[in-house]
Amino acid sequence: MIKTDALIIGAGPTGLFTAHQLNIIGLKCEIVDNLDKIGGQCIELYPDKPIYDIPAVPECTGEELTNNLINQLKPFDIKFHLNERVDEVKNEKGYWHVKTNNGTVFYTPNVIIAGGVGSFEPRKFTPKECEQYEGKSIFYSIKDKNIFKDKTVSIFGGGDSALDWAVELSANSKVNLIHRRDEFRGAQSTLNKVYELEKEGRINLFTKYQLKNPRGNGKLDSIDIQNENKEIKNLKTDYVLGFFGLIMQLGPIANWGLNLNKKTIEVDTEKFETNQKGIYAVGDICSYPGKLKLILSGFHEGALAARACFKLARPDEKYRFEFTTSSSSILKRLGKKSD
Amino acid sequence: MPKITYVENNGKSHTVEIDKGLTVMEGAIQNNIPGIDGDCGGSMACATCHVYVKEEWYDKINEKSEGEDDMLDQAFEPNKFSRLSCQISVTDEIDGLIVDLPKKQ
């Protein structure tokens, strides 16, 4: 069990700057994120897109912003728990017990939700019948590629993940690659390789087709695919892989007893606290009258939530407002010499 | 102001007036039309404002943006009339536009 002053859920820009604000005032924190990297939407959705409304930064990309925020955290010792999703939260005598899907347990008086529009989850196949095969014959990510050896694998999608896996698995498996149109968006070099392997008969390509129906009796044995003209083909297959990118879902947070407004969490504008004492929401996921979904608003919200955390983390001390330019204790925390 | 009609998957129809210059996605969000999320705020990064444009309107709206089809690959049940509503600008020319909303985003 990890004991900390505050747990931040979400390693996007708001979560990162909130961590900075907590450490500046002398509080320790840990950060959990469902993605495998730091940066949230900035890294997952628009790493190369320029942002023009960060104060004092005329122009920077999502990736540059993330790197700058990570650099700003260098003086502090902050533990990141990536690839983990927070599943359960319960209160015991004023402390929150927070459990992730990997079994990590945090024990903290403060939980700050900086979850953007929720956690990123893979987009799934449309037909409801697919659910019974998920995790057995239908996958949205690959953990152990050895299970596909000498089997038939049908891969759906038109991006890099679909193309890369088609090429890789074709070495030891029979591969069907199915995509809803005849243009692919993956790297041209990989695409060339796919066409080459198709000529050699190592990959069967089906374009303008989508999954219509999985077939099998408890165990998947074939799939029906359909094109725009409603023509159906049946493909024998052992496994099905879907690579349709990620979608953002509020996920388990929806069951924490917080007041929700559509996909956002209602907070006050003094502490950015939810209806649960010690649980805060900052950034795109919070809502209050006048809320703007801007990164700069998330920074402000995080700064105020951090001050509210102080009271619960250090009940016997009094918080004193200080500037980074003049406070010797802040400079010490930053590892700088004071004059 | 141009009128746009959004038809939910259950058949419920909403006709609203939308300021010129906004997008069809923004019009839906501002009018609380259920079924369009617009999670990324219109930066063409999420495919949660997917709509099916009525066939007779499809050729009358502005053409797809570069990369829009790549994003539509990730939408729920796309077809040949699929568009991202954040990429359709509201003008006088599309007064009367009808879009159908998918089962989910």
Supply the range of the domain harboring residue B58. 3-100
Chain B residues with at least one Cβ partner in A under 8 Å? 37, 39-41, 43, 45-48, 69-70, 73-74, 76-80, 105
Residue A339 resides in a domain: no
pLDDT in tens, B52-69: 999 999 999 999 988 899
- Is it the case that residue A339 has pLDDT exceeding 80? no
Nearest to B39 among A228, A244, A248 (CB): A248
* Same domain? A107 vs A132: no
Confidence of residue A120 (pLDDT cuts 50, 70, 90): confident
- More confident site: B66 or A189: A189
In the three-class reduction of DSSP (H, G, I as helix; E, B as strand; rest coil), residue A46 is classed as: coil
**Number of Cβ pairs closer than 8 Å across A and B?**
48
The verdict on A284 and A324 lying in the same domain is: yes
Nearest CA among A128, A123, A116, A87 for reference residue A104: A87
- Contact state of A159 with B73 under an 8 Å Cβ cutoff: yes
Residue A338 has pLDDT above 80, yes or no: no
Terminal C-alpha separation, chain B: 27
Domain match, A132 and A37 both: no
Q: Is residue A206 part of a domain?
A: yes
Q: Looking at residues B97-102, what average pLDDT do you find?
A: 96
Predicted confidence (pLDDT) at residue A254 exceeds the cutoff of 90: no
Last residue of a domain, one of A201, A221, A244: A244
* Mutation for A interface: B31, B37, B74, most A CBs within 10 A: B74
Residue A153 has pLDDT above 70, yes or no: yes
The CATH number covering residue B95 comes to 3.10.20.30
CA-closest candidate to residue B27, choices B105, B97, B76: B97
For residue range A256-295, list pLDDT tens digits in order.
999 998 789 999 999 999 999 999 999 999 999 999 999 9
- Closest residue in B to A294 (Cα) is B41
> From the candidates B73, B82, B86, which should be mutated to test the interface with A, based on the most A CB atoms within 10 A?
B73
Contact of A69 with A10, CB cutoff 8 Å: no
- Tell whether B24 is covered by a domain: yes
Contacts of B77 in chain A (CB under 8 A): 126, 210
Q: What is the largest CA-CA distance in chain A?
A: 78
The residues with which A321 forms a beta bridge, in sequence order, are none
Residue with tokens 């590892």: A335
Q: Do A89 and A158 share a domain, yes or no?
A: no
pLDDT of B96 reads 96
**For residue B14, which of B105, B100, B102 has the smallest C-alpha distance?**
B100
Residue contact B70–A157, C-beta within 8 A: no
B43 vs A49, A123, A181: nearest CB: A49
What does residue A148 show for φ and ψ, rounded to 5 degrees?
Answer: -90, -5
CB A288 within 8 A of CB A266: yes
Q: Which residues from chain A sit within 8 angstroms of residue B73, using beta carbons?
A: 157-159, 179-181, 185, 244-245
Q: Are residues A117 and A251 in the same domain?
A: yes
Assess if residue A338 is contained within a domain: no
To probe the interface with A, which of B39, B40, B50, B71 has the most A CB atoms within 10 Å? B39
Q: Is A283 exposed, middle or buried (0-12, 13-18, 19+ CB in 10 A)?
A: buried
Q: Are residue A258 and residue A117 in the same domain, yes or no?
A: yes
Q: Final residue of a domain: which of A182, A211, A244?
A: A244
Domain interval for residue A182 = 124-244
pLDDT digits (tens, 9 = 90+) for A165-185: 999 999 999 999 999 988 898
Q: Which residue of A has its CA nearest to B67?
A: A185
Contacts of B74 in chain A (CB under 8 A): 123, 244-245, 247
Checking ipTM against 0.90, whether it exceeds it is: no
Average pLDDT of chain A to the nearest whole number = 94
Structurally, chain B folds into a number of domains equal to 1
Please state, for a pLDDT cut of 70, what percent of chain B lies above it: 100
- At A48, is the pLDDT very low, low, confident or very high (cuts 50, 70, 90)? confident
Tell me whether residues B69 and A183 touch, CB distance under 8 A. Answer: yes
Q: Decide if A244 and B74 are in contact by the 8 Å CB cutoff.
A: yes
Tokens 């004193």 belong to residue: A320
Binary contact (B70, A185; C-beta < 8 A): yes
Specify whether A200 is located in the same domain as A273.
Answer: no
| Residue from the list A159, A244, A293 with its beta carbon closest to the beta carbon of B41 | A293
Tell me if B73 and A126 make a contact (CB, 8 A cut-off): no
DSSP string, B36-102: ---TTSSSS-S--SEEEE-HHHHTTSPPPPTTHHHHHTTSSS--TTEEEGGG-B--GGGTT-EEEPP
C-alpha span between B24 and B89 (Å, rounded): 6
Residue A95 lies in a domain: yes
Average pLDDT in the A331-339 region? Answer: 86
Nearest CA in chain B to A184: B70
B61 in a structural domain: yes
B105 occurs within a structural domain = no
Same domain, A279 and A317: yes
Residue B14 falls inside a structural domain? yes
Chain B interface disruption, residue of A117, A227, A249, most B CBs within 10 A: A117
Percent of chain B with pLDDT over 90: 73
- Domain of A69: which CATH number? 3.50.50.60
Q: Does residue A280 sit within a domain? A: yes
Domain count, chain A: 2
CA distance A68 to A45: 18
Q: At which of A186, A221, A244 does a domain end?
A: A244
